[in-house]
Each structure stands twice: as C-alpha cells, then as structure tokens.
Amino acid sequence: MRIAIIGAGSMGGTLARHLAKLGHQVSIANSRGRESLTALATEFGATPVAVVDAARSGEIVVIAIPTKAVADLPQGLFANVPSSVVVIDTGNYHPELRDGRIDAIDRGMLDSQWVAQQIGRPVIKAFNNIFHKSLLEKGAPSGTTGRVALSVVGDSSDAKAAVLRLVDDLGFDPVDGGDLDNSWRQQPGTPAYCRDLEAAALLRALTEADRSRIAEYRAEEEARIRRHIAAQAAKG
Ligand SMILES: NC(=O)c1ccc[n+]([C@@H]2O[C@H](COP(=O)([O-])OP(=O)(O)OC[C@H]3O[C@@H](n4cnc5c(N)ncnc54)[C@H](OP(=O)(O)O)[C@@H]3O)[C@@H](O)[C@H]2O)c1
C-alpha cells in the first residue's frame, strides 16, 4: 500500500521503518521539509516528502506529531484528498509535559475527536497506546503465544478494517475497540494504555476503564512520565 506518515520522530520513524520492511511504499514528512529528512528516510526505506504531498500521496495517512502541532498543519490539508483515504491519529494529549492546555479537550472533547475537528476529516485512532520501543521489538507472527494486541477505534468500519489488517501485518493481534466515541478507553493512563497486553486482557482493560476518570488518568500518566524522566536523569 501507499502509506504516508506525517511526523518522523519516535512513532513516525518506527512505523516507517516497519512498514517499509513489510514492502509498503512509505513516504514521510516533518515540519522542516524534505531536505532535512533525506538521510533518515533513506535509513527507513521511505521517501521524504513535504507535508502537503504526504496528505496527497497515501492510501493511508498517519499523523504522528505532537497534539499541539496538529493545529499548525497547513489549512485545508485534506480538502482534496479522496474520502477513501484512511487517516490514522497516533496522538496523545499531554497538556503539562508537552502540548500546553487545549481548552476543548480540557472541557471534555476526546483527543482524537479534537484532531479530527482540526483537520476536518474523520480519523482512526491507533498506535497511540503502544510505546514505540514495544512497536519496534514486540511484533510476532499471528498465533504466537503471548502476542501483544493493539486496539483500533473509529467510525468507518472499512477504514477501521484496513487499520486492523495493518496492525496484524505489523505483528500485533488486532482488537476492534469500537467507534471514536470509545477512544477515551485507550487514552493516556487508562488500563489499556501502553501495557503490552494480549487480546483478551486488552479487551478487559478497555471495558474496565471509567469515563469519569479521563482527566485523572491523564494526570496520573503525566506524573508517571515525570517520575521516569527524573529517575533516568538521576542515573546520569
Ligand atoms: N513515542 C512514543 O512511544 C509514542 C507512543 C504512542 C503515541 N505517541 C504519540 O505520537 C505522537 C508523536 O510522538 P513522537 O514520540 O513520535 O514525537 P517526536 O519523537 O517528538 O516526533 C515528532 C515529529 O513530529 C514532527 N512535527 C512536529 N510538528 C509538525 C508539523 N507541524 N508538521 C509536520 N511534522 C511535525 C517533528 O518534525 P520536526 O522535527 O521537523 O519538527 C517530528 O518528526 C504524539 O502525539 C505522541 O504522544 C508516541
């Protein structure tokens, strides 16, 4: 497939490397332009492109940039992109650590609903609840005992099916997490967030999540990341 990735950091780079290895035609973009990506893209086996060309060149377009940066994407980026093109949002809102406050999300809009609103286009939420290192290292063939599962949510069943297939190809058990209104169940800090669970446990974790705790889950996750950063710094 033609897969375009906007964002070439930990998540975008890991996906690019994996997907190119699987034989997909991968293009990749960042905020600084294609020249800045030449060496990295070659290493990934991908083609460096401008953001506007990424949006136009994929059958699947992955958005893998910080949430706050979504608002900086070019206006009308997807305006002439066919509706059959699947847009994946890998993002997580980190207000204290990275993104600053986004009022609409703080008032209750879900992370990916906000992204969809910003880009004027439905999104499928996927890959947001796996750490990039696990994505790189924990893929395994279908049927492997203990295979890690990944949940995918979104409103279009065709688009979701395409992403569920991609998850399986990448080496993870695909789990349908429902429509976008259920995407809070895999937002930061929830029981289904970055725990590398098998399919049955992931489904249980998605079910166990408590909607009234979204902000609390997020704050707990940010506190956990802060502790992790402090522990790493203490190690030197
Ligand atoms: N890292 C993980 O393990 C992980 C796991 C799950 C989900 N996520 C989520 O995935 C998203 C990306 O995270 P990351 O860790 O990959 O971030 P990252 O390593 O900081 O990389 C961010 C990338 O986004 C690009 N970017 C920033 N603003 C842009 C813009 N306006 N237009 C185009 N590209 C832009 C940056 O390009 P420049 O360098 O040129 O600015 C960079 O390549 C975040 O929402 C994060 O929460 C990350």
pLDDT in tens, 142-160: 999 999 999 999 999 999 9
Single pTM value for the model: 0.98
pLDDT band at 133 (very low <50, low <70, confident <90, very high): very high
- State pLDDT tens for residues 8-64: 999 999 999 999 999 999 999 999 999 999 999 999 999 999 999 999 999 999 999
Pocket of ligand 1 (CB under 6 A): 6-12, 29-32, 51, 64-67, 69, 72-73, 90-92, 128, 131-132
Q: What percentage of the chain has pLDDT greater than the value 70?
A: 100
Q: What is the pLDDT of residue 69?
A: 98
Pair of tokens at residue 112: 């990916």
* 3-state secondary structure at position 91: coil
Quote the CA–CA distance of 191 and 213 in Å, as a whole number.
11
- Among 21, 6, 2, which residue's Cα sits nearest to residue 169? 21
The answer to whether the CB of 5 falls within 8 A of the CB of 12 is yes
Average pLDDT rounded to a whole number, residues 67-81: 97
Distance 93 CA to ligand 1 centre (A): 12
The answer to whether the CB of 173 falls within 8 A of the CB of 149 is yes
Residue having the nearest C-alpha atom to atom 5 of ligand 1: 131
